[in-house]
């Protein structure tokens, strides 16, 4: 949660930015004039704005009116000259949240900023709950900056009709984000229709997407509306779009470009009013370069591309996700995971991402007695997440599209640590390297040492 400061005096602007930064956990952005402030203002990033009232050009009162006209939920704090109470009163009547007189008292400024941030946070939470109740949107649970940025981007494009392509590994929550886009769009009163392009047989997929007319093929005893028409005035989510057969891709491209569909066996196109959100765990740019996916369709789908990070890239989300899933699947019973077991969960590779973590928590709720989930049960689940080691006789299979050697080495170290119970000495012997080399690699790749065991002898390899 960031704050925008609008102040034309450089010294005052720097003092404000420093003192506000002492309170704000997020970014503090600065603008040098009213005009500059309006250009920089972003409602998704700046729920709180601090502006001087007396500035050359566009003054603070006009800035206040324009910001509230654009985003009425924004909390605007005005800075006034000492004794200029009447102007401050006018600003409050115009919708300002509070005012701070110059020269301002540091503690008073902090108090006003904290109060504004608390109100802004409460407003955001209430708005999210209202949207969730209205649309059936599932809660996005996170604490990481990575997902915060992803959510910010999704929320920014949601009010438009732009086609969005969600990319990332399976199980990262792409459908959850697609539903968030729908719930925060003007189409939220319309249907959200999801179709998995990889789960429907080729001979049925065309009819499933575009519909068919009676008699189009054997068994077509009546007209059938495809998913495009079912999603009219709503959102169509095309999951696993990378699995769409090549011969159907031109038809999908035409539907996106013309806003109409050609039912199987039909004689005329039917107009459709639908917003498209697609998702894939493939790199469609690579697929297009290899002629396995139409490049024109890729560009049409990726008007806005949003990458969803893997769970191993944001381990700080694991504790809150575990708490959420234990409550979700606990059936009214209360569960918790001990700190050492939680550290082990944070260090696991989770190739199946959030979906796999949720299944693990569901298993805990089914098998554990109410209370603390035992470490043995956590270790058993973690062992299941680590794929069996490949024997030398099986050889090494390299992907044709290339790989990241740095990422591969980090993944090997993470999995080796997990396989050896986070014991550094055993892990070093398993990898056949000196322990100090392992520690160097762990530091190089920012692999957290919290929860790892130095060695059986307390420190030496």
DSSP 277: E
Contacts of 218 (CB under 8 A, 6+ apart): none
> Strands 335-337 and 28-31, how do they pair?
unpaired
Query: CB burial class (10 A; 0-12, 13-18, 19+) of residue 229?
Result: buried
Per-residue pLDDT at 131: 54
Contact 71, 38 (CB under 8 A): no
Residues 6+ apart with CB under 8 A from 88: 53, 78, 80, 96, 99, 101
Quick one: how far is CA 259 from the chain centroid? Answer: 29
Closest CA to 50 of 69, 29, 25, 71: 29
pTM: 0.59
| 198 conformational bin, left if phi > 0, alpha if psi -120 to 50, beta if neither | alpha
* Distance from C-alpha of 380 to C-alpha of 373, rounded to nearest angstrom: 12
Helix (H, G, I), strand (E, B) or coil at 207: helix
- Intervals of CATH 3.40.50.2300 along the chain: 3-127
Buried b (16+ CB within 10 A) or exposed e, 265-302: eeeeebebebbbbbbbbeebeebbeeeebbeebbebbb
pLDDT in tens, the chain (461 residues): 689 999 999 999 999 999 998 888 667 899 999 999 999 998 878 899 999 998 998 989 999 999 998 888 899 999 987 667 788 888 888 899 999 988 888 899 999 999 998 888 887 766 666 555 554 556 789 999 999 999 999 999 999 999 999 999 999 999 999 999 999 999 999 999 999 998 888 888 999 999 998 888 877 778 889 999 999 999 999 999 999 999 999 999 999 999 999 999 888 899 999 999 999 999 999 999 999 999 999 999 999 999 999 999 999 999 999 999 999 999 889 999 988 899 999 988 898 899 999 999 999 999 988 888 989 899 888 887 655 444 444 455 566 566 778 878 888 898 888 887 788 888 888 888 888 888 888 888 888 765 566 665 444 33
Reported for 202-211, long-range contacts at CB under 8 A and 24+ positions apart, including other chains, are 202/245, 202/248, 205/244, 205/245, 205/248, 206/248, 206/251, 206/264, 207/264, 209/248, 209/252, 209/261, 210/251, 210/255, 210/261, 210/262, 210/263, 210/264, 211/261, 211/263, 211/264, 211/266, 211/270
Q: Does domain 315-385 have CATH number 1.10.8.60?
A: yes
Closest by CA to 198, choosing from 255, 245, 237, 247, is 245
For residue 440, the model assigns a pLDDT of: 83
For domain 3-127, which architecture applies? 3-Layer(aba) Sandwich (3.40)
Secondary structure (3-state) at 391: coil
Neighbours of 318 (CB within 10 A): 23
* CATH 1.10.10 domain residues, the chain: 403-461
Beta pairing partners, 193: 236
Query: Can you tell me whether residue 340 is helix, strand or coil?
Result: helix
CATH of 145-307, one of 2.60.40.1120, 3.40.462.10, 3.40.50.10420, 3.40.50.300: 3.40.50.300
CATH class of 403-461: mainly alpha
Residue 436 tokens read as 């100090």
Residue 244 is given by DSSP the state: S
**Intervals of CATH 3.40.50.300 along the chain:** 145-307
């Amino acid at each position: 949660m960031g704050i925008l400061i609008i102040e034309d005096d450089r010294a005052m602007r720097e003092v404000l930015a420093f003192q506000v930064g002492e309170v704000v956990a997020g970014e503090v952005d600065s603008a040098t004039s009213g005009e500059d402030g309006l250009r920089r203002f972003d409602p998704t990033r700046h729920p709180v704005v601090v502006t001087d009232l007396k500035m050359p050009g566009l003054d603070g009162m006009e800035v206040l009116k324009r910001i509230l006209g654009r985003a009425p939920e924004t909390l605007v704090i005005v800075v006034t000259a000492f004794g200029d109470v009447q102007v401050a009163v006018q600003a409050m009547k115009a919708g300002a949240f509070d005012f701070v007189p110059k020269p301002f008292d540091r503690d008073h400024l902090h108090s006003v900023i904290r109060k504004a941030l608390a109100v802004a946070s409460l407003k955001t939470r209430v708005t999210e709950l209202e949207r969730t109740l209205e649309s059936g949107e599932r809660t996005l649970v996170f604490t990481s900056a990575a997902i915060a940025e992803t959510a910010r981007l999704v929320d920014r494009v949601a009010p438009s009709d732009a086609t969005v392509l969600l990319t990332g590994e399976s199980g990262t929550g792409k459908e959850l984000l697609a539903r968030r886009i729908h719930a925060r769009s003007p189409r939220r009163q319309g249907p959200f229709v999801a179709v998995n392009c990889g789960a429907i047989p080729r001979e049925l997929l065309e009819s499933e997407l575009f519909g068919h007319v009676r008699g189009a093929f054997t068994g077509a005893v009546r007209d059938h509306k495809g998913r495009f028409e079912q999603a009219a005035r709503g959102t169509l989510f095309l999951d696993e779009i990378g699995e769409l057969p090549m011969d159907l891709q031109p038809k999908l491209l035409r539907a996106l470009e013309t806003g109409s569909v050609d039912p199987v066996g039909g004689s005329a196109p039917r107009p459709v009013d639908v917003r498209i959100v697609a998702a894939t765990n493939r790199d469609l740019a690579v697929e297009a370069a290899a002629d396995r996916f139409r490049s024109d369709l890729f560009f049409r789908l990726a008007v806005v591309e949003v990458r969803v990070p893997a769970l191993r890239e944001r381990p700080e989300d694991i504790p809150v996700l575990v708490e959420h899933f234990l409550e979700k699947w606990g059936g009214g019973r209360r569960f918790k995971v001990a700190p050492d077991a939680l550290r082990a969960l944070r260090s696991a590779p989770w190739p199946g991402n959030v979906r796999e973590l949720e299944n693990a928590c569901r298993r805990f709720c089914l098998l554990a007695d109410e209370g603390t989930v035992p470490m043995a049960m956590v270790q058993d689940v973690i062992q299941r997440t680590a794929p069996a080691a490949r024997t030398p006789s099986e050889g090494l299979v390299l992907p044709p599209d290339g790989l990241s050697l740095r990422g591969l080495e980090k993944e090997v170290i993470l999995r080796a640590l997990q396989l050896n119970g986070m014991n550094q000495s055993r892990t070093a012997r398993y990898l056949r390297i000196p322990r100090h080399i392992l520690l160097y690699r762990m530091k190089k790749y920012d692999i957290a040492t919290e929860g790892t065991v130095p060695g059986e002898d307390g420190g030496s390899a």
